[in-house]
Chain A
Amino acid sequence: MDLDPEGIFLDDSDSDEDGLQEKEPTKEFVVYLVDASPKMFGSAGAHEDEKGVTFFQAAINCISESLKSQIIGRSSDEVAICFFNSREKKNLQDLNGVYVFNVVEREFLDQPTARLIKEFSSIEQRFMHYIGSRYWIEPSSRDNSLYNALWVAQALLRKGSSKNVSKRILIFTNEDNPFASISGAAKADMIRTTLQRAKDAQELGISIEVLPVGSNGFDVSIFYADLIGLQGDELPLFLTSAGEKLLDMTNQLKKRMFSKRKVKTFMFVIANGISIEVNAYALIRPTLPGAVMWLDSITNRPLKTERSFICADTGAVVEDPRIRSYEFKGQVIRFTAEELARLKKVSDSTHLRLLGFKPLDCLRDYHNLRPSTFLYPTDEEIAGSTCAFIALHRSMLRLRRFALAFYGSSSRPQLVALVAQDEILSSCGQLEPPGMHMIYLPFSDDIRSAEELHVNLAKPCVTDDQIKKAAALIKRMDLKEFSVCQFANPSLQRHYAILQALALGEDEMPAVKDETLPDEEGMSRPGVVHAMEEFKVAVYGENHDQEEAAAKASGTEASRKRKVMLEVALKESANYDWAELAENGKLKDLTVVELKNYLTAHSLPVAGKKEALISRILTHLGK
Chain B
Amino acid sequence: MARNKEVVVLIIDVGPTMHGVLPEVEKVCTMLVLKKLIYGKTDEVGIVLFGTEETKNDLQKEVGGYLHVLVLQDIKVVDSDVMDSLHELQRGTHNGDFLDAIVVGMDMLIKKFGPAHKGKHRLCLITNAQHEIKEPDEGTKADQVDTIGQLMKTHGVRLECILIKSKLAGSVQQKIIDENIYLLNQFSRNTISKIIHVDGPRSLLGALKTRNISPVTVYRGDLELSSSMKIKVWVYKKTSEEKFPTLKKYSDKAPVTDRFATHELKIDYEYKSAEDSDKVIPPEQRIRGYRYGPQVVPISSAEWEAVKFKPDKSLKLLGFTDISNIFRHYYMKDVYVFIPEPGNAKAILAVSSLARSMKEMNKAAILRCVWRQGQGSVVVGVLTPNISSEDNIPDSFYLNVLPFAEDVREYRFPSFSDLPTSRQPNELQQEASDNLVKALDLAPPGEEEALKPDFTPNPVLQRFFHTLDLRSKYSDAELPPLDASVKMIMGADPDLLYPQYLDYFQCQFELKNNPKKRGNSKRALKEEPFNSNENAGVEGEATDVLRIDSSAAKVEKIGDLHPIDDFVEMMARRDSSKWVEKAIKDMQDYIYNLLENSYRGDNHLKAIECLIALRKGCIMEQEPKKFNEFMHLLYENRKILELNDFLNLLSLKGIGLISKTEAPDSEVDVEAKISPVKSEINSQ
Q: Given contacts A307-B269, A390-B424, A443-B456, are A477 and B320 in contact (CB under 8 A)?
A: yes
Q: Does B309 lie within 8 Å of A313, measured CB to CB?
A: no
Q: Does B349 lie within 8 Å of A539, measured CB to CB?
A: yes
Q: Does B456 lie within 8 Å of A444, measured CB to CB?
A: yes
Inter-chain CA distance A95–B228, complex, in Å, is 68
CB of B238 closer than 8 Å to a CB of A: yes
Inter-chain CA distance A286–B350, complex, in Å, is 33
> Considering the complex, which residues of chain B in the window 359-416 have a beta carbon less than 8 Å from any beta carbon of chain A?
360-361, 363, 366, 368, 376-378, 380, 384, 386, 388, 391-394, 396, 398, 400, 402-416
- Count class of interface residues, chain B: 35 or more
Q: Does B450 lie within 8 Å of A356, measured CB to CB?
A: yes
CB of B678 closer than 8 Å to a CB of A: no
Closest to B332 in A: A371
Q: Does A390 lie within 8 Å of B423, measured CB to CB?
A: yes
Binds B, one of A174-182, A458-466, A553-561: A458-466
Q: What is the minimal beta-carbon distance from A211 to any residue of chain B, in angstroms?
A: 12
Q: Does A303 lie within 8 Å of B273, measured CB to CB?
A: yes
Inter-chain CA distance A406–B378, complex, in Å, is 33
Inter-chain CA distance A444–B683, complex, in Å, is 95
CB of A439 closer than 8 Å to a CB of B: yes
Closest to A488 in B: B405
Q: Does A334 lie within 8 Å of B294, measured CB to CB?
A: no
> Considering the complex, which residues of chain B in the window 298-346 have a beta carbon less than 8 Å from any beta carbon of chain A?
298-300, 307-309, 311, 316-321, 325-335, 337, 339, 342-343, 345-346
CB of B192 closer than 8 Å to a CB of A: yes
Q: Does B490 lie within 8 Å of A346, measured CB to CB?
A: yes
Q: Given contacts A304-B271, A415-B456, are A356 and B265 in contact (CB under 8 A)?
A: no
Q: Does B329 lie within 8 Å of A372, measured CB to CB?
A: yes
Inter-chain CA distance A271–B498, complex, in Å, is 10
Q: Does A356 lie within 8 Å of B513, measured CB to CB?
A: no
Q: Does A489 lie within 8 Å of B407, measured CB to CB?
A: yes
Q: What is the minimal beta-carbon distance from B201 to any residue of chain A, in angstroms?
A: 14
Q: Does A483 lie within 8 Å of B325, measured CB to CB?
A: yes
CB contacts (< 8 Å) of A491 on chain B: these are 308-309, 376-378
Q: Given contacts A113-B293, A275-B511, A342-B479, are A380 and B521 in contact (CB under 8 A)?
A: yes
Residue in B295, B342, B429 whose CB lies within 8 Å of A503: B295
CB of A186 closer than 8 Å to a CB of B: no
Inter-chain CA distance A453–B514, complex, in Å, is 56
CB of B174 closer than 8 Å to a CB of A: no
CB of A606 closer than 8 Å to a CB of B: no
Q: Does A274 lie within 8 Å of B437, measured CB to CB?
A: no
Q: Does B331 lie within 8 Å of A372, measured CB to CB?
A: yes
Q: Does B286 lie within 8 Å of A312, measured CB to CB?
A: no
CB of A141 closer than 8 Å to a CB of B: no
Apart from A369-B241, A450-B215, 6 more pairs, CB < 8 Å: A295-B288, A325-B249, A390-B423, A415-B489, A454-B342, A471-B361
Q: Does B511 lie within 8 Å of A462, measured CB to CB?
A: no
Inter-chain CA distance A495–B297, complex, in Å, is 12
Inter-chain CA distance A478–B357, complex, in Å, is 13
CB contacts (< 8 Å) of A362 on chain B: these are 442-443, 449, 452
Against A, the Cβ 8 Å flags (1 = close, 0 = not) of B231-275 are: 000001111111011011111111000100111111111111111
Q: How many chain A residues touch the partner (CB < 8 A)?
A: 231
Inter-chain CA distance A359–B277, complex, in Å, is 60
Q: Does B425 lie within 8 Å of A390, measured CB to CB?
A: yes
Q: Does B380 lie within 8 Å of A203, measured CB to CB?
A: no
> Considering the complex, which residues of chain B in the window 443-484 have a beta carbon less than 8 Å from any beta carbon of chain A?
443, 449-461, 463-464, 467-469, 471-472, 475, 479, 482
Q: Does B492 lie within 8 Å of A353, measured CB to CB?
A: yes
- Most chain B beta-carbon neighbours within 10 Å: one of A199, A233, A329, A498: A329
Closest to A160 in B: B532
CB of A536 closer than 8 Å to a CB of B: yes
Binds B, one of A27-35, A42-50, A55-63, A428-436: A428-436
CB contacts (< 8 Å) of A499 on chain B: these are 290, 292, 297
Q: Does A358 lie within 8 Å of B443, measured CB to CB?
A: yes
CB of B679 closer than 8 Å to a CB of A: no
Q: What is the minimal beta-carbon distance from B70 to any residue of chain A, in angstroms?
A: 26
CB contacts (< 8 Å) of A408 on chain B: these are 490
Q: Does A346 lie within 8 Å of B482, measured CB to CB?
A: yes
CB contacts (< 8 Å) of A73 on chain B: these are 406
Residue in B229, B319, B510 whose CB lies within 8 Å of A384: B510
Against A, the Cβ 8 Å flags (1 = close, 0 = not) of B194-231 are: 10000000000011011101010000000001111100
Against A, the Cβ 8 Å flags (1 = close, 0 = not) of B18-36 are: 0000000000000000000
Q: What is the minimal beta-carbon distance from B38 to any residue of chain A, in angstroms?
A: 6
Against B, the Cβ 8 Å flags (1 = close, 0 = not) of A261-292 are: 00000000011011110000111111101111
Q: Does B269 lie within 8 Å of A305, measured CB to CB?
A: yes
Inter-chain CA distance A346–B457, complex, in Å, is 13
Against A, the Cβ 8 Å flags (1 = close, 0 = not) of B515-551 are: 0011001001100011111101000000000111111
Q: Given contacts A274-B505, A423-B415, A457-B392, are A306 and B270 in contact (CB under 8 A)?
A: yes
Q: Does A477 lie within 8 Å of B317, measured CB to CB?
A: yes
Q: Does A294 lie within 8 Å of B289, measured CB to CB?
A: yes
> Considering the complex, which residues of chain B in the window 415-444 have a beta carbon less than 8 Å from any beta carbon of chain A?
415-416, 418-420, 422-425, 429-430, 432-434, 436-438, 440-443
Q: What is the minimal beta-carbon distance from A491 to any residue of chain B, in angstroms?
A: 4
| Interface pairs (29), CB distance under 8 Å | A255-B411, A291-B291, A303-B274, A318-B251, A323-B252, A332-B250, A380-B521, A383-B513, A406-B489, A413-B459, A434-B416, A437-B329, A439-B329, A442-B239, A444-B455, A448-B237, A459-B348, A460-B348, A460-B352, A462-B356, A466-B353, A469-B353, A470-B357, A491-B308, A516-B378, A517-B316, A519-B318, A523-B227, A540-B350
Inter-chain CA distance A457–B425, complex, in Å, is 56
Q: What is the minimal beta-carbon distance from A57 to any residue of chain B, in angstroms?
A: 22
CB of B506 closer than 8 Å to a CB of A: yes
Against B, the Cβ 8 Å flags (1 = close, 0 = not) of A103-117 are: 000000011111000
CB of A200 closer than 8 Å to a CB of B: yes
Q: Which 7 A-B pairs have the closest CB atoms?
A: A444-B206, A450-B236, A437-B329, A324-B247, A454-B342, A391-B433, A391-B425
Inter-chain CA distance A298–B271, complex, in Å, is 14
CB of A500 closer than 8 Å to a CB of B: yes
CB of A69 closer than 8 Å to a CB of B: yes
CB contacts (< 8 Å) of B309 on chain A: these are 490-491, 494-495, 512
Inter-chain CA distance A380–B518, complex, in Å, is 8
CB of B497 closer than 8 Å to a CB of A: yes
CB contacts (< 8 Å) of B457 on chain A: these are 443-445
CB of B493 closer than 8 Å to a CB of A: yes
CB contacts (< 8 Å) of A296 on chain B: these are 273, 281, 285-287
Residue in A162, A289, A312, A388 whose CB lies within 8 Å of B529: A162
Q: Given contacts A339-B479, A356-B440, are A313 and B262 in contact (CB under 8 A)?
A: yes
CB contacts (< 8 Å) of A406 on chain B: these are 489-491
Q: What is the minimal beta-carbon distance from B435 to any residue of chain A, in angstroms?
A: 9
Closest to A355 in B: B492
Q: Does A329 lie within 8 Å of B472, measured CB to CB?
A: yes
CB contacts (< 8 Å) of B192 on chain A: these are 452, 455
CB of A381 closer than 8 Å to a CB of B: yes
CB of B80 closer than 8 Å to a CB of A: yes
CB of B632 closer than 8 Å to a CB of A: no
Binds B, one of A2-10, A145-153, A587-595, A610-618: A2-10
Inter-chain CA distance A270–B79, complex, in Å, is 45
CB contacts (< 8 Å) of B472 on chain A: these are 328-329, 331, 333
Inter-chain CA distance A403–B502, complex, in Å, is 15
Closest to A377 in B: B423
Q: Given contacts A296-B286, A459-B391, are A305 and B271 in contact (CB under 8 A)?
A: yes
Closest to A478 in B: B320
Inter-chain CA distance A154–B424, complex, in Å, is 38
Inter-chain CA distance A326–B470, complex, in Å, is 13
CB of B169 closer than 8 Å to a CB of A: no
Binds A, one of B101-109, B569-577, B595-603: B569-577
Q: Given contacts A196-B572, A310-B268, A433-B412, are A467 and B253 in contact (CB under 8 A)?
A: no
Q: What is the minimal beta-carbon distance from A174 to any residue of chain B, in angstroms?
A: 20
Inter-chain CA distance A499–B413, complex, in Å, is 35
